[in-house]
Amino acid sequence: MQRTATPCTSVRFRSQPPFMRILVTGSSGFIGFHLCLSLLKKGFEVTGVDNLNDYYKISLKQHRQNILEGYKNFTSYNCDLNDMQHTVNGKFNIAINLAAQAGVRLSKSENYKYIDSNINGFDSFLKFCEFKNIYKIIYSSSSSVYSGNISDINKESDLLNKPKSFYADTKIKNELCADIHAKNTGSKIIGLRFFTVYGPLGRPDMAYFNFTNKILSRNKITLFNSGNTHRDMTFIDDVSDAIESSIEKISKVKEHEIFNIASENPINTNKLIRAIEEEFNMKAIKKNLLNKNEVSKTHADCSKAKAFLKYNPKIKFEEGINKFFNWYRDFYKL
């Protein structure tokens, strides 16, 4: 599906950069949708690319896309990353790749999905950028790249040893490919390692959303290691702000820079469950499962992002999870 975008006449965006046409892949995904919506409201001309795959309910992705298509300055293409060069038209000042096969727990028999989207798809995205003469690129990486590390707090300079999932391995490969692309083409590239993003219109496979669904439907929730895990949960508005800061600062990048994007405040999984139980006045039915490959804690050091991007996460867990609950009640008419 394609719509014709009309150019905007003014853009209010911090230091008032010149008019930009921005390409966003994964535009109907959780992060992509919120980023596109924020950019559209600021008057940018945005082109979104999404294949609307069925990793989770397509209806939610379509709902997000329908909202974006209500803006005249939005153009959408329903296509795969590997088909962009033959499908997507237009000139762009910057390209942002948020499309990927998400999730760390697909079975080995489904690894081809990671290869097709995260490896081949990312390579196709970079080739598209070269073909279209796009030399400013932002892409999503993941906190999962640290899954083989033993350090308590993760820094971008950490050596990435033996990641615990094939998904994490694909993200490490993305970072290496981006580094080579920057050197070969002279592009300025920013990679963002996102830590457990949550919020309204989120992904149903993520723990906060999945647990809410199961508690309300009286189904068992599976707790790895008795819920004694911690995740550096990052609210979606802070993530969107980090990407917008990257747009603003990318001209100052020498070649390729990577930044952690997180709240720097790990949340215990049992605390998350209690928040859901208290909100809906229902008790969780739990099933404990020991999983040696489960990461016990994610905790980011965001000092590099704070210094270079002026990143400043504002939303505390209690506020963020309440925003999700309010959206959930409204969306599902509870």
Which domain covers residue 55, as residue numbers? 21-202+232-265+297-315
Task: Note whether residue 326 is domain-resident.
Answer: no
Exposure pattern of 156-182 as b/e (b: 16+ CB <10 Å)?
Answer: bebebeebbbbbbbbbbbbbebbeebb
Task: Note whether residue 328 is domain-resident.
Answer: no
Q: Which two three-digit tokens encode residue 224?
A: 């790895």
Which of helix, strand or coil describes residue 196? Answer: coil
Q: Is 77 a catalytic residue?
A: no
* pLDDT confidence of residue 288: 86
DSSP, res 43: T
Residue type for position 190:
I
Question: How many independent structural domains does the chain possess?
Answer: 1
Task: Note whether residue 270 is domain-resident.
Answer: no
Are 310 and 238 in contact, with CB atoms under 8 Å apart? no
* pLDDT confidence of residue 162: 83
At 100, which CATH number?
A: 3.40.50.720
* pLDDT confidence of residue 215: 97
* pLDDT confidence of residue 234: 98
Are 238 and 198 in contact, with CB atoms under 8 Å apart? no
Q: Sign of the CA dihedral 97, 99, 104, 107?
A: negative
Spatial distance between the Cα atoms of 320 and 199, rounded to a whole number of angstroms: 6
Spatial distance between the Cα atoms of 175 and 49, rounded to a whole number of angstroms: 21
Task: Note whether residue 54 is domain-resident.
Answer: yes
Which member of 167, 198, 208, 328 is catalytic?
A: 167
pTM, two decimals, is 0.92
Task: Note whether residue 160 is domain-resident.
Answer: yes
Q: Where are the beta strands (DSSP E) in 225-306?
A: 230-231, 234-235, 256-261, 267-268, 285-289
Are 260 and 156 in contact, with CB atoms under 8 Å apart? yes
Residue type for position 293:
N
Q: What are phi and psi of 58, to 5 degrees?
A: -65, -30
Task: Note whether residue 1 is domain-resident.
Answer: no
Stretches in the chain below the pLDDT threshold 50: 1-12, 14-18
Are 125 and 84 in contact, with CB atoms under 8 Å apart? yes
* pLDDT confidence of residue 116: 87
CA distances from 81 to 50, 124, 188, 191, 318 (A): 8, 6, 21, 18, 36
Task: Note whether residue 64 is domain-resident.
Answer: yes
* pLDDT confidence of residue 100: 92
Which of helix, strand or coil describes residue 80? Answer: coil
Task: Note whether residue 196 is domain-resident.
Answer: yes
| CA 115 to chain CA centroid, nearest Å | 18
* pLDDT confidence of residue 113: 86
Spatial distance between the Cα atoms of 8 and 25, rounded to a whole number of angstroms: 21
* pLDDT confidence of residue 19: 63
* H helix count then E strand count, the chain: 11, 13
